Structure 1
C-alpha cells in the first residue's frame, strides 16, 4: 500500500485535487463511494464532476459528453437486463474495435455486475468458438465486420450487432440503477499466439493507488486529450481507458490504426497524449510528420518490446515524450522507462513505479546478483486473480512470475531479455533473440526484424533472422551475418537470413513466430 502523503502529492501534481463546485465534488465522491473504482464508477465520477466535458471523440459518430456517454451506458444496461435477461454473474463477450459502442458495453457489463470478456479481434472462427465455450458467454456484442466470423458460435450464445446495439439503447425503458450485488470482473484474453487464449480475471482497484502508481511516473493530467490507439481489448488499451476516465480526459478513438490518419487526428484534436503499442510508433516514423506537429507531451507504449533504437528515433522527431511500460496481462505493470532512461539505454524497461516490488530470481527462488539474468517476479496492487480455468501462475513471497527473463543493472534499470520459453539453446549455448534483434535493427536498411529459433539436426536449434527492409533498400544475407559476428559471439550469428515484405503480427502488434518458422525447412 502507498502512503497517504505520496498519494495526495501525486494527485495534486496531476490536477485531480483542484477545487471545484462543492455540489459536483460531493456528487463525484458519492459516485466513487457507491460504485467503487470500477470502470463504471470511474465514468460516474467523471460525469458527476464534468458532465458537459467531451468524453469521447469517435471518428465515425462524433462527440459524446460524459453525461451522454453515461446515459447511453445506463440505457444499454437496462435493455440488456430487460431484453436478454442478463444478470450479475453472467458473462458478456465484446468483439469490437475502438469506438464508443465498445466503451458503452464494457461499462454496461460492470453496471450489471456481469463479467465482461474482451475478445481479441484477431481470433479465428475456431478460436472464437473455443473462447465462447470455455468462457461460458451468455451473449456476444460484436462489430458488423465480424458478423460472418461469429455465425458458427454455439446457439446458446446470443449475438448483438451494431444495429441491435443502437436499437437497445434507443428503446430502453426508463429506470434507476443500483449497484449490483457483486462486482463485475473484466476478463482479458491472453494473446493466443500459440493456440486458444486463456481468460485472465482483472481485479477491480480498491482506491487511488493503482492510478497514482502510473501517473506519478507518466505525467498525465486531469482533462488531458488522449488518443487511445492501442486496442482496448488488450490490457494496455483497457488500462488507458481506466486512466482516462479517472482523469476526466477527452478520449479520441479510431477503429483502425493508420499512421497518417492518426498523426492528422493527433494534431487536429490537439492531443496531449497517445497510448500505443511499439509497432505503431514504427509506422508513424515512416510517414512525414504533419505541420504543425501534434502537441504531444506523453506517448505511452506497452504490449511488446521496443526494438533497438526506436525510442530515440521517435524522440528525435517528436521530442522527449516516450514512456515505456513493461508489464503483462497477469501482473499489470512491472516497470516504467521515462525519456531520460530511454536516452541513456534505449532497450531498458525502466524502474518499478511507487508501490511495486521487482525481483530477479534463479530457478530455486533465490535473488541473483546485479547484472545476472534470472526470472522476473513482480508484486503490486493489480496482480490478476487467476485464469478463468482455475489455474494460476507461480508465486513467491507475494511476487508473481511474469514468464520473462531479465536483469537489473547496477543503477537499478531493468532489462528484459525475452520469454523463458523463447530462449534459444544452440549447441549448448543460451541465446536471447532480443539481443540479436536489437543489433540488426540498427542497420539503416532494416524496417523491422525478428529472430526465432528453428530446429537443427546438429545443434538442436539455430537462429533464423527475418528482415523487412525499407522500400528500395537491399542487403546481402552474408553481410548481415558478418555484421552480427563482429559484435556478438559466434553462436549468436543467425544461420538463416530471410527477407520478407512484413513481419506477421497479431492484433496487439506481437510478432507471430510460428508463422515465420514456416519459411524455414
Structure 2
C-alpha cells in the first residue's frame, strides 16, 4: 500500500533539509514514532541504520531500517530490513515562488495474507492522517511556529499513532464478525466497484449487499419484506425521482420518519444524490420543529403523514414528500409514487465535496436541539472498535428498537451497512411487541435505550416468559444513564447479553461496558475501546488522579465537525468535552457522575445530582428519581428531588434520612416532590429543563399539575 502527502513551506530547501536530516528529532516530529535510534552510531548518510518503533495502543511495532538514498537537500529514503515491511521517502523541491514543496511517501505491507491485505486497506486513511500531521509539524518547525507538543499533551500524541497495527486488529475483528469471506470473483469485483463508486456511504452499503446477497432480506417491517436487490432498485428510482423534482447534490433534506423502510430508503437514495440529511426528532413540537428548520434551512422535507399538522409552519415553501401514510390520497407526493415514476438506472455518483453527510440533532435536554454535522468516517476502523466490544456478526437480524433518528439507532443502521444485516423495524416501541418481534424473527441483536429495558422489565414475568428470546446475543444500550440495578435484573432475566455505550452526539462514543463489566461494577460506563482516548481534566485543564471526579474529554475518529449553527464543544489537546463529569476506577472503568453544567456548589461543597438520584432510585418502592439544583438563600444552592413511587414507596423524610446516612448532610435534598412520571424525550432522557421550569413556576406562585411532597402522598394513600 502506498500513501503520499505534500505540504508547501515558506522557507528554502536548505532550511527544510536541516529539519529532515535531524534524526534525533524524529521521535518528536514523526507522528506515532516512539523510537528512532541509530544502530551503528552513523548518524547521517546512505547506509546508516536505525531501530524504529511505533506505538499502537498498548502494543509496539518495530523495524530495522536502512537509509538507501541521501541526496541533500533533495531526497532521503529508507527501507526496512527486518520487522514491518515499509519504505519511506522525503522529497524536497523548490517552487517558482521561492517556497519549498515537501513530499512524504510511505509504502508498507502488513503480514498475514488476506487479513494483511484488509489491514492495509482499512489502515490507509489513518496512515494518511499521520503523514499530514508529520508534515504539519515539519512546517511548524521550519517556519518557527513551534509544534505545541510536550509531555503534558497526551491527546494529540496518542491520536497521532501509526495505524498499521490497528489495521491488523481491525482485520481480525472483521474476520471474527464474518465480514471477510471468500466471494465469487464477480461478486468480489462488484463489491469493490460499489465502494469505489459511492465511498463510505449508505449507498455503498446497499449496493455492495445487492451484489453479494441479492435475494436475501434487507428490511422487514410492518409492510412486509424487501430484499437487497429490491432496495437497490427502489433507491435508484427514488434518487432519480428526487433529482427530477429539483433536489441536487449539496442540498440539505430534512427527514422526519419513524422506524420503517421509508427512513432507510430515503437515506440511501439521498446519499446517491449527494445530499446532507437532517434527521428530525419525531417527538418535537411544532414550534421546536419550525425553529430547527428555520436554522438549518433544508430544501425539502420527507415525513410521515401523521406529522402533517406539526410541519405546517416548518414545511412552508419547501418541497415535501410523504414516507408513511394511511390515507388513500395525500396532499404531497409519496415515496411509493416517486419509486413508481423514477428511472431505474443507477444515478451518477456525486462529486467528493458533495458526498452524503448526516446531521443528527442533540437531545435538547438542556436547551434548543443543535445540529451536529458529521461526515462519513474516513475508514472502517471505528467499526472495528465497536465490534470488538459488541458481539455483532455479519448477516444477522437486528431489531433496531432505538429511534433511527437518534445517534444510537443511527449507529446501528450504519453497522448494518457493514454487516449486511437484515433490519427488523417496528414503527413505535411497545415492550411486549418488541419481545414478540425478537421471538418471531429469531433476532440476534436488539439495540435500545435504557428506558426501553426498564419498560420491558416492568412487564409481568409471565408476559416476558411467553416469548422465546434465546436467539439474542446483544442488547446494546445508549442514550441515557443505565442504573446498575436495572442492568443486573435484565441480565438475570435474559442472560448476559447487555452492553452499555457511553457517548454523546458530539463525541460519538467514549466508553463501552460489556456484560462482564456491568456485573463486576454495576453502574459503570465501561472502558474506552481501541482508538479512543479518554481523559479526566479539572477546571484548569489538568489531568486529575485516578478516582477523582473531573470533566470527561474524549478523542476518536468519529467526533463531530461542529454545530451546524456555529460553535463546538470545548477542546483540550485535541480531546473534546463530552459535557459530563466522571471518574476512572482502579481498573480504568469510567463512572459518569452527571452533567458538568448540573454540578452545584452548596455551602462551599461540590454536589453532583447523579449520585443522589442513583441512591434514591435504589430505595424500595421508588420507580425512578431525578434531582436538580435550586437556588437557596442560606447555602447558595441546594438539591431538589422529583420521585416516582410504586406500591406506597418511601416518604419525604425517609428519602432525606437515607441520603444523609449514605452520602452526606450537604447532599440531602431541600425538598422532595412526588410525581406520577418524569418528563422524558423520545430517547428516554429526563428533561430536567422541564423540572426546572416547574420549580420556577412554583417559586413564582404558580401551581403545577401535581401536588407536592407529603400532601400528594397522603392523598394517594387515601384513595
Paired position in structure 2 for 1:61: 223
Instruction: Answer yes or no: is 1:92 the counterpart of 2:92.
Output: no
Name the stretch that deviates more: 261-270 or 150-159. 150-159
One of 33, 39, 51 as aligned partner of 2:196: 33
Paired position in structure 1 for 2:289: 128
Alignment of 1:378-393 (within 5 A): 378-393=554-569
CA distance in 1, matches of 2:449, 2:296: 27
One of 6, 21, 32 as aligned partner of 2:184: 21
Paired position in structure 1 for 2:169: 6
Gaps of 5+ in 1: none
Instruction: Provide the alpha-carbon RMSD of the alignment.
Output: 1.5
Superposed CA offset, 1:180-221 (max 9, x none): 012121001111234431111112122221111110111110
Instruction: Answer yes or no: is 1:329 the counterpart of 2:505.
Output: yes
Matched residue of 1:276: which SS?
coil
Matched residue of 1:149: which SS?
coil
**Alignment TM-score, normalising by the size of structure 2:** 0.70
CA contact (8 A) 2:236 2:343 kept: no
CA contact (8 A) 1:360 1:376 kept: yes
Instruction: Answer yes or no: is 1:416 the counterpart of 2:592.
Output: yes
CA distance in 2, matches of 1:211, 1:438: 32
Matched residue of 1:309: which SS?
helix
Instruction: Answer yes or no: is 1:479 the counterpart of 2:624.
Output: no
Matched residue of 1:334: which SS?
strand
Matched residue of 2:183: which SS?
coil
Paired position in structure 2 for 1:455: 631
Equivalenced residue count is 518
Deviation at 1:291, TM superposition (A): 3.0
CA contact (8 A) 2:436 2:467 kept: no
CA distance in 1, matches of 2:633, 2:275: 52
Superposed CA offset, 1:377-424 (max 9, x none): 111111111111232222222211111111111211111111110112
Paired position in structure 2 for 1:180: 350
Instruction: Answer yes or no: is 1:229 the counterpart of 2:401.
Output: yes
CA contact (8 A) 2:484 2:524 kept: no
Deviation at 1:323, TM superposition (A): 0.6
CA distance in 1, matches of 2:177, 2:642: 43
Deviation at 1:364, TM superposition (A): 2.4
CA contact (8 A) 1:309 1:441 kept: no
Paired position in structure 2 for 1:115: 276
Paired position in structure 2 for 1:359: 535
CA contact (8 A) 2:362 2:372 kept: yes
Deviation at 1:69, TM superposition (A): 1.6
CA distance in 1, matches of 2:520, 2:430: 30
CA contact (8 A) 1:11 1:17 kept: yes
Alignment of 1:59-458 (within 5 A): 60-83=222-245, 85-153=246-314, 155-162=316-323, 164-181=334-351, 182-287=354-459, 288-294=463-469, 295-458=471-634
Deviation at 1:173, TM superposition (A): 2.6
CA contact (8 A) 1:132 1:153 kept: yes
Deviation at 1:154, TM superposition (A): 5.7
Deviation at 1:88, TM superposition (A): 1.0
**Alignment TM-score, normalising by the size of structure 1:** 0.96
Sort the Cα spacing of 1:5 and 1:173 in 2 relative to 1 into closer, same or farther, 3 A.
closer
**Superposition misfits of 4+ residues, deviation over 6 angstroms:** none
CA contact (8 A) 1:56 1:63 kept: yes
CA contact (8 A) 1:263 1:290 kept: no
Paired position in structure 2 for 1:47: 210
Paired position in structure 1 for 2:685: 510
Sort the Cα spacing of 1:184 and 1:292 in 2 relative to 1 into closer, same or farther, 3 A.
closer
CA contact (8 A) 2:367 2:689 kept: no
Deviation at 1:106, TM superposition (A): 1.2
Matched residue of 1:273: which SS?
coil
CA contact (8 A) 2:484 2:518 kept: no
CA distance in 2, matches of 1:444, 1:224: 39
Gaps of 5+ in 2: 1-125, 127-162, 324-329, 700-719
CA contact (8 A) 1:264 1:290 kept: no
Name the stretch that deviates more: 450-459 or 309-318. 450-459
CA contact (8 A) 2:527 2:589 kept: yes
Superposed CA offset, 1:264-303 (max 9, x none): 1111111111111000000000113133431211110001
Deviation at 1:167, TM superposition (A): 1.1
Paired position in structure 1 for 2:27: none
Deviation at 1:365, TM superposition (A): 1.9
CA distance in 1, matches of 2:534, 2:366: 27
Task: Compare CA radii of gyration and give the structure with the larger one.
Answer: 2
Paired position in structure 2 for 1:498: 673
Matched residue of 2:464: which SS?
coil
CA contact (8 A) 1:308 1:439 kept: no
CA distance in 1, matches of 2:542, 2:503: 22
